[in-house]
């Protein structure tokens, strides 16, 4: 399976090796910047310049949740290995941890002096790694 986004605010998922389109997602109002599969493989999270993240459910064949709260483009997104949390990195110099079940932001991590460009959970832990245009990496405890 391959997922690609483009400047036309659309993403497509293809099966390999035949190249057949499995699913197409529309809903972001600006270009896509990142995507990440849910640990179970049943959902996808996408990030966009439109300042939102969207969660897509493959069985429902569409967007089931839009997460809003960043002030500028969201550059990257990542699922926690338990599948209940999503992390986002933004041009607004912050990163956020979202609780998918309650549909709200649980934590906002401030400290970078420039755009946060990528974010990743350490597998099976509460540690988050961010990289920034301020030329630093930061490790965060997502619980505090």
Tell me: the pLDDT tens digits for 103-142? 999 999 999 999 999 999 999 899 999 999 999 999 999 8
Nearest to 53 by CA among 106, 81, 90, 24: 90
Q: Which residues of the chain have a pLDDT value below 70?
A: 1-10, 14-15
Strand partners, 89: 76, 95
Domain ranges of the chain: 27-141
What pLDDT is recorded for position 1? 46
Average pLDDT of the residues of the chain: 90
Topology (CATH) of 27-141: Methylamine Dehydrogenase; Chain H (2.130.10)
Query: pTM of the prediction?
Result: 0.87
* Torsion on CA atoms 17, 23, 27, 28, rounded to nearest 10: -20
What pLDDT is recorded for position 66? 97
Structure tokens at 81: 């290995």
Residue at token pair 């439109």: 50
């Amino acid at each position: 399976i391959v997922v690609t986004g483009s400047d036309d605010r659309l993403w497509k998922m293809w099966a390999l090796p035949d190249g057949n389109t499995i699913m197409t997602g529309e809903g972001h109002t600006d270009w896509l910047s990142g995507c990440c599969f849910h640990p179970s493989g049943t959902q996808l999270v996408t990030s966009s310049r439109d300042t939102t993240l969207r969660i897509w459910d493959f069985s429902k064949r569409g967007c089931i949740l839009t997460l809003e709260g960043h002030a500028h483009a969201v550059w990257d997104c990542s699922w926690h290995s338990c599948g209940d949390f999503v992390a986002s990195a933004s041009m607004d110099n912050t990163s956020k941890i979202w609780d998918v079940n309650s549909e709200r932001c649980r934590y906002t991590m401030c400290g970078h002096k420039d755009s946060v460009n990528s974010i990743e959970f350490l597998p099976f832990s509460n540690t988050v790694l961010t990289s920034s245009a301020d030329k630093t990496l930061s490790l965060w405890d997502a619980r505090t």
